[in-house]
Structure 1
Amino acid sequence: MFDTMTFTKILGGFCGAFLIFLMGKWAAETIYHTGGGHGGEEHAAGYAIEVEAGDDAGAEAEEGPSFDELLASADVEKGARVFGKCRACHKLEDGANATGPHLYDVVGRDVGAVAEYGYSGALSEAADVWTAENLNGFLEDPRGYASGTSMSFSGLNKAADRANLIAYLDTIGE
Structure 2
Amino acid sequence: AAGLFGAWLILLLGKFAAEEVYQRGAHGEPGYVVEVASAEASAPAENAVDFTEVMASADPAAGEKVFRKCSACHKIVDGENAVGPYLHGVVGRKVDAAAGYAYSGALEKVVDVWTPENLSHFLEKPAAFAPGTKMGFAGLSKIEDRANVIAYLESLGN
Same fold (TM over 0.5): yes
DSSP 3-state at the match of 1:59 = coil
Task: Determine the C-alpha separation between the residues in 2 that align with 1:103 and 1:158.
Answer: 20
Deviations 1:56-95 (A, max 9, x none): 8x734xx263111100000111000000000000000000
Structure 2 runs not aligned, ≥5 long: 1-40
Encode CA deviations 1:86-111: one digit per residue, 9 max, x unaligned: 00000000001000000000000001
Return the alpha-carbon distance in structure 2 between the equivalents of residues 115 and 64 of structure 1. 37
Point out 4+ residue stretches in structure 1 off by more than 2 angstroms: none
- Say which of 125, 130, 135 aligns to 2:109: 125
Q: Is the 8 A contact 2:79 2:99 kept in 1?
A: no
SS at match of 1:96: coil
SS of residue in 2 equivalent to 1:151? coil
Q: Distance in 1 between matches of 2:62 and 2:142?
A: 13
RMSD: 1.8
Give the equivalent residue in structure 1 for 2:51: 67
Larger radius of gyration: 2
CA distance in 2, matches of 1:98, 1:124: 20
* Aligned position for 2:142: 158
| Aligned pair partner of 2:86 in 85, 102, 107 | 102
Give 2:126's aligned residue: 142
The number of equivalent residue pairs is 119
* Partner Cα separation in structure 1 for residue 54 and residue 119 of structure 2: 14
Which structure has the highest helix share of the two?
1
Higher RCO (C-alpha under 8 Å, 6+ residues apart): 2
